[in-house]
Structure 1
Amino acid sequence: MAENKNQKHFILVHGLCHGAWCWYKLKSLLESTGHRVTVLDLIASGINMKAIQNVQTFHEYTKPLLEILASLPPDEKVIVVGHSLGGMNLALAMDEFPNKISVGVFLTAFMPDTLHQPSYVLEKYLGGVTEELLQDAQLVNIGSPQIPFTITFMGPKFLSSKLYHLSPVEDLELAKALIRPGSLFTEDLSKAKNFSDEGFGTVTRVYVVCNEDNVMVEEFQRWTIQNNPPKDVLEIKSADHMPMFSKTQEVCDCLLEIANKYAQGN
């Protein structure tokens, strides 16, 4: 096969309690268009063997992504897509490796700023969380009063009515089998230094809104965009919180559009 000179390299970063497995449809679709795609399990996610209660910091949780970026050839730039909480991992990667990322794509994701501590957008979101939203999901503090650490467990009702309500039932069943406890690392991020204008602030950002998201509702997504305006905003209609399942082709089309517009010459 002749080399595709326009080939781009996408790195897809999963969200809370999920793993590399959630990208299986999108990965194959993007690869069928001639692009490279890397998916990864963050620490204590997917098939990574560590337990979430043994992960000390958000930086440690993000290590697999940081290691991939550190291993790239000097002349290679990638497009990194962060879904949901994965937007925070993306932001950390942008801050540490701004010269390695041509564009950061926030897919119905948390997108921090440089004016506040990294936990700011998470705390803003958690301030609006209700029992109705949580359903059978649980936030459990397993730390101490001195060092709190909150773990999230997602139950089947929460998955079916909030995350996957427009996704194929087969993918909901896959999630029920594969999700693991996770953490937003809010306590750790509340003590972390701000993301920098020199790192995070220099990388092109694009936000993709999913207007039928029952977890990160459109109002919050729009607030996130207003709080730290990105270079561009795209929207996927009738997409739930898991657009890689509910609107796979549309997500693929969005990423190809973003790549063509903001990652030329990489």
Structure 2
Amino acid sequence: MGLCFSRTSVRKKKPAKPRLTNNQSVGSGGSKRWSKSRKERFDDVELQDQAVTAAANILLKQQYGVAFDRSSSLRFPNSNGHSRKNQGLPRSSSSRARSLTDPLLQPHQLVVSQDTKLEDLETTHFVLVHGGGFGAWCWYKTIALLEESGFKVTAIDLTGSGINSFDTNKILSLSHYTKPLADFLENLNEGEKVILVGHDFGGACVSFAMELFPSRIAKAIFVAAAMLISGQSTLDMFSQKDVSNDLMRQAQIFRYANGNKQPPTSIDLDKSLLGELLFNQSPAKDVALASVSMRPIPFSPVLEKLSLTEANHGSVRRFYIQTPEDNAIPIQLQEDMISRSPPEQVFRLKGADHSPFFSRPQTLHKQLVEIAKLA
């Protein structure tokens, strides 16, 4: 998240006063295998069920090395790149109402169009990198949608995040924080490439990885993310004089694991302000999930200045997805990052808050697939 730090604005353990391109449709043709009745039955309930399955798989695969095989048709596409029909999927009465600004996409809109086959793309593998305080769990809707479209998806838990049990207060460098991502990229097969997607502070992590492994990254997508220039830290970016974020200052709670006279070791967020800061357009159930799942943000990596070169970092294609209703990284700051280091294309996710994977999952998915298709 956006960070605002000064000695006069530090809170310790109690909150106190101290311190484009236009969107294009994905897949106009669709698949003839989807009948009209199938389209009519493809609603938020089914999407939610797929999402729950995907979220369960993240946890089970990471903890136990097994998958939750509720319905293989949701996760394993056939040779044509379309998922097999699922018969008798249980219905749920807990689905949320459809959003007018994030309309439910039909099945033919959730897959790559007929004139663009998955096997023709440079890569069909997305690697999702969460933001500060989040974990792989936050991508559960995006995972379900991408897998349903035939893509391979890996969601990373960075050090001290999600189910990674390392003590956040002991993370002293960006290299340590991003080690799970670096290990994953280093172990890719020879010649294999991925599309990196970074959210929030995960953007700095993606840039760090681009410098180390440029030949293994086909594209980098920054979603409401810190897109830094060389010599800049995440704290530098959020400390610009022309950007003020009082809500972020109010929400920050600094932790001092090494004693109050030493620099902060991590940053927590006031749970009572999470909804307004990060999820002001998101469903209540996702806010509840985040409130019990988020962890502190390690402070040292936020201070670290990136060293980026044109030969490495500059060789990877970059794209930015803006979130206009963002209260954590205001649109003004997003625009400033884009102007300082222009990416190949900029997309605007209408009506999205800081967490579009919750607030606008279908349209976020649509934009990710569109970027994957770009030659």
TM-score scaled to structure 1, two decimals?
A: 0.90
When Rg is computed on C-alpha atoms for both structures, the one with the higher figure is 2
Q: Answer yes or no: is the 8 Å Cα contact 1:134–1:158 preserved in 2.
A: no
Note the 1:1-266 alignment, pairs <5 A. 1-2=78-79, 4=81, 5-6=119-120, 8-114=124-230, 117-119=231-233, 121-127=234-240, 128-142=243-257, 148-185=263-300, 188-190=303-305, 194-262=307-375
Please identify, of 148-157 and 74-83, the stretch whose mean Cα deviation from structure 2 is larger. 148-157
Deviation for aligned residue 1:250:
0.6
Distance 1:188 1:122, change over 3 A: closer
Looking at structure 2, the residues matched to 252 and 259 of structure 1 have their Cα atoms a distance apart, in angstroms, of 11
Give the partner amino acid of 1:118: Q
Looking at structure 2, the residues matched to 78 and 186 of structure 1 have their Cα atoms a distance apart, in angstroms, of 24
Looking at structure 2, the residues matched to 136 and 187 of structure 1 have their Cα atoms a distance apart, in angstroms, of 17
Other structure's SS at 2:282 match: coil
Distance 1:213 1:110, change over 3 A: same
Looking at structure 2, the residues matched to 150 and 165 of structure 1 have their Cα atoms a distance apart, in angstroms, of 28
Q: How many residues align?
A: 257
Q: Answer yes or no: is the 8 Å Cα contact 1:16–1:184 preserved in 2.
A: no
Give the partner amino acid of 1:47: I
Deviation for aligned residue 1:145:
9.7
Deviation for aligned residue 1:123:
1.4
Deviation for aligned residue 1:101:
0.5
Other structure's SS at 2:367 match: helix
Other structure's SS at 1:233 match: strand
Deviation for aligned residue 1:96:
0.3
Distance 1:57 1:186, change over 3 A: closer
Q: Answer yes or no: is the 8 Å Cα contact 2:198–2:206 preserved in 1.
A: yes
Q: Answer yes or no: is the 8 Å Cα contact 2:169–2:265 preserved in 1.
A: no
Distance 1:187 1:222, change over 3 A: closer
Looking at structure 2, the residues matched to 211 and 232 of structure 1 have their Cα atoms a distance apart, in angstroms, of 16
Other structure's SS at 1:185 match: helix
Looking at structure 2, the residues matched to 187 and 88 of structure 1 have their Cα atoms a distance apart, in angstroms, of 9
Looking at structure 2, the residues matched to 154 and 50 of structure 1 have their Cα atoms a distance apart, in angstroms, of 19
Distance 1:184 1:261, change over 3 A: farther
Deviation for aligned residue 1:228:
0.5
Other structure's SS at 1:135 match: helix
Distance 1:187 1:62, change over 3 A: closer
Looking at structure 1, the residues matched to 261 and 250 of structure 2 have their Cα atoms a distance apart, in angstroms, of 29
Deviation for aligned residue 1:74:
1.0
Distance 1:213 1:189, change over 3 A: same
Looking at structure 1, the residues matched to 334 and 153 of structure 2 have their Cα atoms a distance apart, in angstroms, of 26
Q: Answer yes or no: is the 8 Å Cα contact 2:245–2:328 preserved in 1.
A: no
TM-score scaled to structure 2, two decimals?
A: 0.65
Give structure 1 stretches of 5+ with no counterpart. none
Deviation for aligned residue 1:131:
4.0
Q: Answer yes or no: is the 8 Å Cα contact 2:256–2:262 preserved in 1.
A: no
Give the partner amino acid of 1:41: D
Looking at structure 2, the residues matched to 159 and 210 of structure 1 have their Cα atoms a distance apart, in angstroms, of 17
Other structure's SS at 1:123 match: helix
Deviation for aligned residue 1:185:
3.0
Could you list the per-position Cα deviations for residues 54-98 of structure 1 after superposition, in whole angstroms to 9, with x for gaps in the alignment?
112111000000111111111211100000000001001100000
Looking at structure 1, the residues matched to 136 and 189 of structure 2 have their Cα atoms a distance apart, in angstroms, of 23
Percent identity for Structure 1 against Structure 2: 34
Looking at structure 1, the residues matched to 363 and 124 of structure 2 have their Cα atoms a distance apart, in angstroms, of 18
Looking at structure 2, the residues matched to 165 and 252 of structure 1 have their Cα atoms a distance apart, in angstroms, of 20
Could you list the per-position Cα deviations for residues 176-221 of structure 1 after superposition, in whole angstroms to 9, with x for gaps in the alignment?
010111125356514x5x2111111110000110100011000000
Give the partner amino acid of 1:22: C
